[in-house]
Amino acid sequence: MRKYVIMGVQGSGKGTQSQLLAADLDLAHISVGDIFRWNVQNHTKMGAQVRRVMAAGELVGDDLVESVVQARLTEHDWNFGFIIDGFPRNRRQAEFFLETYDIDAIIVLDLPDSEIRRRVLNRRLCVGCGINYNLIDSTPAVPGRCDACGGELTTREDDTEEALAVRLRTYHEKTNPVLDLFRRKEYVITVDARPVPEAVQAEIRQQLGLSPQKPQDSQDSQNSQEPQESQKSQGSQGSGSA
Ligand code: AMP
């Protein structure tokens, strides 16, 4: 049983790296942002509650976030463990989490703000199947159309200059201090997120003491992750775009 947390600013590749690790180790990939996005896209009551906050790049309230995480983890579909992405994001969430679960490692993806801006503003999402593209190195064959389903590619509502500025500030002010808390209690590894996704994955595995990834796993994972129904998520993060 392995329990990991992955942290990093939006655009650092958390989704992509989580999916690569989860697919290989049979972990449940739990993305709080994906759960919220699914609710927004499906017009649920929770979606209505979080939509404006998300679009502005702000953090959703702790009570709601904690209940979502708790509900997700009580599904107990994680016999081999889980990797949780996008949580915790502040001190209160971290304390709540550490009280409840023994975490094996915190994976921190490190990326300069300038590169984050470049990645996030070039990110596109298929409205049909949720695959992510970026217009830097995974452009679709037909501009504006998904290679897999032909759906329209749109920009995520929170991938704007304004929302990004808020998210970066929030990350530096609220999420970075969480790392100090983790460093005292847990096993934190920091990985340079600038290289291509496969190289970042190899570095994560090496630092976690795992064997190198089998070649077919990296092939499968390139821009082709199916959203996981059990996570009620749409918009899995594709190659280098998360
Ligand atoms: P993400 O895809 O992880 O960047 O999350 C997208 C958005 O969902 C964030 O900008 C927040 O509005 C919200 N969100 C996701 N995770 C959390 C969290 N742990 N705490 C508060 N808000 C969150």
Tens-place pLDDT, residues 129-169? 888 888 887 788 998 999 999 999 998 888 888 988 998 99
- Which pairing describes strands 132-134 and 123-126: parallel, antiparallel, or unpaired? antiparallel
Q: Which of 63, 68, 85, 89 to mutate to test the pocket of ligand 1 (most atoms within 8 A of CB)?
A: 89
Give the number of the atom of ligand 1 that is nearest the alpha carbon of residue 10.
4
Residue 110 β-bridge partners? 192
Q: What percent of the chain has pLDDT over 90?
A: 46
Distances (CA, A) of 240 to 33, 48, 220, 221, 228: 17, 29, 14, 11, 19
Q: What integer is the mean pLDDT of 221-225? A: 39
Q: Which of 25, 73, 36, 30 is nearest to 58 (CA)?
A: 36
pTM of the model: 0.80
Q: Residue 190 above 90 pLDDT?
A: yes
